[in-house]
Amino acid sequence: MRKVISVCQIQAFTIILSLFTLVMAFCPTAHAVKLGLASAWLFDDNGGKTVKDVVSGHDGEIKGALEWVNKGKFGGALEFPGEGNSYVRVDHDDVFNSDPYTFVAWVKLEAASWQYVVWRNGDVWPEPENVRHLDIWIHDADYPVFMWHVGGNVGRIDGKTIVADGEWHHIAKIYDGKNVQMFIDGKLDGEEPSGGTLDTSESPIWIGARPGNVAATGLFDEVGFFTEALSEDELNDVMDNGLAGYAAVEAAGKATTTWAVLKTKK
């Protein structure tokens, strides 16, 4: 009898192990952990005043007159009116002081005079101190500009690609601890030494505007923050396939499950 039970137990254990291995083989959770995806705002909420962070709960609060639309790069998106009081605000968390990091966003911006993609240096302008850890804006000539501070000293990259042209563009800032890289549509568009470790703060993230009435005009989709400096291949995979496949949540007492978000790329 003991031998029969033992054989049954072994068979059951083998089946369970096989199923677990099969699930893990198709589960992108390990990939998400590997790339260090800390926050992902997919802009698929389709209503309300909150933009859900499907990874870690750093939900964004919608300020002003932003409009939910179903014409995003992957599913839904938010439309920004180019007004300084209309943006998405994400409260501070120490994870956003990560060194290194990668920030990504899909944007479809209209040509306009001075715009902002993301700002992180306080809720007032002029800023009380120079500690820009994450700062991307669009020049009056419609190309992107990255800025940062090290010991209060400014670093800057001026891009070569026009991105405020009414078309979708993928913007990525990659900081590896020594250099800052600007990627536009998966291709390197500028690179500069950081000059040291980027200054940090306890400032919130503003998506689509900065204090002082400088704001974006157009659509935002698929905004993400990674605590690793992605390689060019990894970045292109994220750009092509979207953030949903990398986003994972862990329910208490349960195995890690992935977000099954069905999105249509446009």
Query: Token pair 């809720």 is at which residue?
Result: 123
Q: What is the pLDDT of residue 24?
A: 39
Which tokens sit at 151? 């010991």
Q: What is the pLDDT of residue 125?
A: 96
Please give the domain boundaries of the chain with CATH numbers for all domains.
26-258 (2.60.120.200)
Q: CA torsion sign, 256 to 28 to 31 to 228?
A: negative
- pLDDT of residue 23 exceeding 50: no
Percent of the chain with pLDDT strictly greater than 90: 79
Q: What is the pLDDT of residue 12?
A: 52
pLDDT digits (tens, 9 = 90+) for 186-203: 999 999 999 999 999 999
Q: What is the pLDDT of residue 6?
A: 58
Report the Cα 166 to chain-centroid distance in Å.
21
pLDDT digits (tens, 9 = 90+) for 134-153: 999 999 999 999 999 999 99
pLDDT category at 2 given cuts 50, 70, 90 is: very low
- pLDDT of residue 261 exceeding 50: no
3-state secondary structure of 93: coil
pTM as predicted: 0.84
Which tokens sit at 19? 């199923």
Lowest mean pLDDT among 26-35, 85-94, 165-174, 181-190: 26-35
> How is residue 264 annotated by DSSP?
-
- pLDDT of residue 15 exceeding 60: no
Q: What is the pLDDT of residue 33?
A: 46
Lowest mean pLDDT among 13-17, 69-73, 188-192, 229-233: 13-17
- pLDDT of residue 249 exceeding 50: no
- pLDDT of residue 119 exceeding 80: yes
